[in-house]
Amino acid sequence: MTIATAELLTVPEVMTRLKLGRSKVYDLIRSRRLVSIKIDGARRIPAVAVQDFVLGQIEAAA
């Protein structure tokens, strides 16, 4: 996947994928455990960042 084809997710979409609340998603972003970007005030999270976060959590639990 290239940067040009990277899927960008909204916070509600990430909430659904991770089955977490809005506050927790923003906490993960604030603590830099979940990578995000801002586009004119709109927060977007690359889908690959969500995958990396989940894989990191699985590795930490092992």
For 22-56, write each residue's pLDDT tens digit.
999 999 999 999 999 999 999 999 999 999 999 99
pTM of the full structure: 0.86
Q: How confident is the model at residue 4 (pLDDT cuts 50, 70, 90)?
A: low
Residue with more model confidence, 62 or 50: 50
Q: What torsion, rounded to 10 degrees, do the Cα atoms 15, 25, 45, 40 define? A: 110
Query: What pLDDT sits at residue 14?
Result: 98
Query: 42: helix, coil or strand?
Result: strand
Query: What pLDDT sits at residue 39?
Result: 94
Rg, the chain, Cα only: 12
Q: What torsion, rounded to 10 degrees, do the Cα atoms 49, 55, 57, 60 define? A: -130
